[in-house]
Structure 1
Amino acid sequence: MPQMSPMNWLSLFCMFIIVFMIFNTLNYFNFMYVSKKTITKNLKKTFNWKW
């Protein structure tokens, strides 16, 4: 029946939004990158040449 078509489109759209949000949250929380700049900053040795 053509009258029920908007209801199907609305459910399809809601399903797409839910799947999209789940995919984005899983993608964000599974790949947490560590900055390499903080690791090299701690290994830097200072040399006081004035004394």
Structure 2
Amino acid sequence: MPQMAPLSWLNLFIFFIFIFMMFNMMNYFSLMYKSKNKKNMMSFKNISFKW
């Protein structure tokens, strides 16, 4: 039935877009970036508020 072909293509498109997005998210969140500037990192232990 050729009338049902667009529905199949739509399902395949959605499936591959979903796989593509999951692959990109897994690659993005799996890396831990290390900051090169240590000045920007605050140490909360050394902060003392004087009221």
**Structure 2 unmatched ranges of 5 or more:** 40-51
Structure (1 or 2) with the greater helix fraction: 1
Is residue 5 of structure 2 the alignment partner of residue 11 of structure 1? no
Q: TM-score, normalised by structure 2?
A: 0.65
Return the TM-score normalized by structure 1: 0.65
4+ runs deviating over 4 angstroms: none
Q: How much identity, in percent, do the aligned residues show?
A: 59
| 1:1-51 deviations in Å (ceiling 9; x for gaps) | 21111001000000011101111110111012112233xx5xxxxxxxxxx
CA RMSD of superposed structures (Å): 1.7
Q: List runs of 5+ in structure 1 lacking aligned partners.
A: 42-51
